[in-house]
Amino acid sequence: MNTALLLASLATVVLGRFSYEGYKVYQVTPENEEQIATLYKLRGTLRYGLFSDSVVPGYPVNVMVAPAEQEMFLQIINEDSLNYRITAEDIESKISAERERIQKTSPVAKGEISFTEFQTYTVIQDYLQQLASSYPDIVTVEEFGRSFEDRPLILIRIGAGAESNPTILIDSTIHAMEWISTSVTTYIIQQLVENSDYRYLIENINWVIIPVLNPDGYEYTFTQERLWRKTRRPGTLCDGVDANRNFPYHWGGNGTSTDECNFYYIGPHALSEPEVVAFTNVVYKINNLVLHLSMHSYGSMILFPWGWTTELVSRSDELQQLGDAASKAIAAVNGTVYITGPSSQLLYYAAGNSVDWITYTRGTLSYTVELPAGPGDGVLDGFIVPPEKILPICQEFWPGLLSFAHQSAKIDLNNADGSSRLTISFRQWAWVLFMYCFRCADGI
């Protein structure tokens, strides 16, 4: 980061909240490998990096550029004759409108949850505690560590069956600004615990769910800097570590940055972040782990390893097949298409991420889910999702989750949902009656 940029960012925080005044979002469509390489180079240089993550020839990519970076950005873009257009210049006004809206919204009652607005970490923790006391037979809530700023790291365990049942692990919001992933994960918790239609899912599967893995960053996005991504570890020039580049597998490899001001900063060493250490300890202790989902936004994608190399992972056929099935189930709701594939081929290199690490250490089916953007041009809406879109995005993802659960835990649908169970028991009754009459007729 150059001095001008440093001074500019210091100036913007002096008045309190971080201001996005003068920031612009550019849309660039790389047409060949060379231009993709340029985008990777830019990603290593810019404070914010790329917004939408699909760096594939022909796919537009959104890049947010700070005022002090405009000149450098345009120079690099022009050198490689990349076409661009400006898609958002009023970032600050969008962000302050969202902040004002949230401040005006009356808070939910303690222990309740709502999907008409984004919720703070306190609201989510209170909701989980309420579930633990209302459903003590199926729910336990556990503090599995403390964040860098000493917030409790909270997970919820949901299960109504054998301890030996297959386990599904879901983590969310390792990237602070990806608020919609927090909503979707909380919605999943609500359905599993409070919707008795899905009782079979908790009788057959043990669930371990972490709705906010980076609570310091999450809190900071509500109070200070809406588009913050990293943890809150203080640095020399810039703060924070990309916790999803801090896992101890190919740490520091392709798609990462050693510049602490970068969006994708790997941290001083692998496992430097207490949130990542605590998470890995949770993972080591899970028995019979059959599926892991890491919830992110945005891009409408279902990604599987590897992130560090374009080589295929050993279970890639199975990963592709389960991903395609989930994607199909989601599309059946409202036509939203989630693209499925290996992350290094669809998205970008991302060495040191949780999904690579879990695949390597546990051999489990493991995915990064990039939830969809809001409506409109999808530029800033990707992170600034309008409140009326929260519930539809949650509801639309739910059938995808069901598909993942059924397939990874090998739940036989004919024995699973209520209606088919009725059919089965009707058949069983018919059989009993038939046997009875048969024996009657036989005179026994």
Ligand X SMILES: *[C@@H]1O[C@H](CO)[C@@H](O)[C@H](O)[C@H]1NC(C)=O
Site residues, ligand X (CB under 6 A): 250, 253-254, 308-311, 333-334, 392, 395-396
Among 47, 151, 175, 292, binds Zn ion (CB under 5 A): 175
Residue 25 structure tokens: 């979002």
Residue 370 among the catalytic residues: yes
Instruction: Note whether 226 binds Zn ion by CB under 5 A.
Output: no
Interface with Zn ion by CB under 5 A: which range of 9-17, 25-33, 74-82, 169-177? 169-177
Minimal distance, residue 250 CB to ligand X, in Å: 5
Instruction: Note whether 230 binds Zn ion by CB under 5 A.
Output: no
CB-nearer residue toward Zn ion: 48 or 200: 48
Size of the site for Zn ion (CB under 5 A): 2
Residue with tokens 């940055």: 257
Judged on CB neighbours under 10 Å (0-12, 13-18, 19+), 218 is: buried
Catalytically annotated residue among 142, 370, 388, 396: 370
CB-nearer residue toward ligand X: 115 or 148: 115
Angle at 406 between CA 405 and CA 409, to 5 degrees: 75
Minimal distance, residue 136 CB to Zn ion, in Å: 34
In contact, 182 and 369? CB cutoff 8 Å:
no
Count of CB atoms within 10 A of residue 392's CB? 14
Instruction: Note whether 233 binds Zn ion by CB under 5 A.
Output: no
Calpha distance 234→265 (Å, rounded): 13
Q: Which does 296 bind (CB under 5 to 8 A by kind): Zn ion, ligand X, none?
A: Zn ion
Which of 16, 30, 29, 23 has the alpha carbon at shortest distance from 46?
23
CB-nearer residue toward Zn ion: 227 or 261: 227
Minimal distance, residue 144 CB to ligand X, in Å: 30
CB-nearer residue toward ligand X: 253 or 274: 253
Minimal distance, residue 181 CB to Zn ion, in Å: 7
Query: What are the CB-based long-range contacts (under 8 Å, 24+) for 140-145?
Result: 144/210, 144/278, 144/279, 144/281, 144/282, 145/274, 145/275, 145/277, 145/278, 145/279, 145/281
In contact, 49 and 124? CB cutoff 8 Å:
no
Q: Give the sign of the dihedral formed by CA 121, CA 126, CA 129, CA 135.
A: negative
Minimal distance, residue 74 CB to Zn ion, in Å: 27
Instruction: Note whether 406 binds Zn ion by CB under 5 A.
Output: no
CB-nearer residue toward ligand X: 179 or 308: 308
Alpha helix ranges (H) inside 293-348 = 316-334, 343-346
Q: Which does 232 bind (CB under 5 to 8 A by kind): ligand X, Zn ion, none?
A: none
Name residues whose C-beta falls within 8 Å of residue 334's C-beta, 6 or more positions apart in sequence: 392, 396
Please report, as residue ranges, which positions from 276 to 305 form the binding site for Zn ion (by CB under 5 A).
296
Contacts with Zn ion by CB under 5 A lie at 175, 296
Catalytic residue numbers read 370
